[in-house]
Amino acid sequence: MNILSLQNVSKSFGALTVTDDASFDVPQGEALGIIGPNGAGKSTLFNLITGNLRADQGTITFEGRDVTRVSAMERCLTGIGRSFQIPQPFEKLTVYENLLVAATHGRNLSEAAVLDDCADVLERTELIRRANTPAGQLSLLERKRLELARAMATQPKLLLLDEIAGGLTEGECKALIGTIRDIHARGVTIIWIEHVLHALTSVVERLLVLDFGRVIGLGDPEEIMASREVQEIYLGIEV
Ligand SMILES: Nc1ncnc2c1ncn2[C@@H]1O[C@H](COP(=O)(O)OP(=O)(O)OP(=O)(O)O)[C@@H](O)[C@H]1O
């Protein structure tokens, strides 16, 4: 079963078409990577899936329901969670309080009702020992972990990760990959935009390539990376 389907989705900003007739399906439980040059429209595609932007044309279906015109808040409540390219936690709130906001916002739930879930997310994202630390005091890796934790606190069935590995050292990147693998192993479907290709290909089962808003490739990561079109367009290598 497909958890997400896009059919002929397009989005323009003025004369600039940023998403150009995108159609693809994401099966339940898959980890899908998205690559493409800067400005290819990757984050815009995420914003269309989450409802932060409205598609000009086309249909977005989540768990069999047409969500094309559904608000971002409602899409989040139905199971579409995301991390942002630039983490913007509440700096003065503790790690736990940041999670609490994510877990309860729009849900009409008490702290007691989400306590166990928040503790579980803190464990899984290896932030439990930083639970009472203000977010503003975290290292870069911990800020990335908090970004992941805030998304996980919304209990997503589909998790969208936007360049979460950027700026990390090799060792930090490896640690974060372990956490993402663990989340995926627990059945969460993942779509991950990433420029750190070795991190991405160590997790995802398929790769989607965007160029000028068009889907120019979708399939096995090794085959995609070896294709002439991807090497020319994405890596800038003439073959
Ligand atoms: N709100 C907006 N208004 C006008 N143009 C926009 C808007 N958002 C994005 N764009 C433009 O759309 C294009 C695609 O942007 P987007 O951020 O989706 O690309 P991207 O593939 O995520 O890039 P990067 O890898 O650099 O993050 C860019 O040319 C960008 O300047």
Q: Which domains does the chain have, with CATH numbers?
A: 2-87+155-233 (3.40.50.300)
Report residues whose beta carbon is within 6 angstroms of any ligand 1 atom: 13, 18, 36, 38-44
The Cα 130–Cα 238 span in angstroms is: 47
CA of 179 to the centre of ligand 1 (A): 28
Q: pTM of the entire structure?
A: 0.94
Tens of pLDDT, residue by residue over 25-79, are: 999 999 999 999 999 999 999 999 999 999 999 999 999 999 999 999 999 999 9
The Cα 216–Cα 195 span in angstroms is: 17
Give the closest residue (by CA) to ligand 1 atom 18.
41
**Nearest atom in ligand 1 to 45's CA:** 18
3-state SS class at 26 = strand
**Nearest atom in ligand 1 to 163's CA:** 27
- State the distance between the two ends of the chain, measured CA to CA, in whole angstroms: 38
Tens of pLDDT, residue by residue over 103-116, are: 998 888 888 889 99
Give the closest residue (by CA) to ligand 1 atom 7.
13
Q: Write the ipTM.
A: 0.95
Give the closest residue (by CA) to ligand 1 atom 3.
13
Give the closest residue (by CA) to ligand 1 atom 29.
39
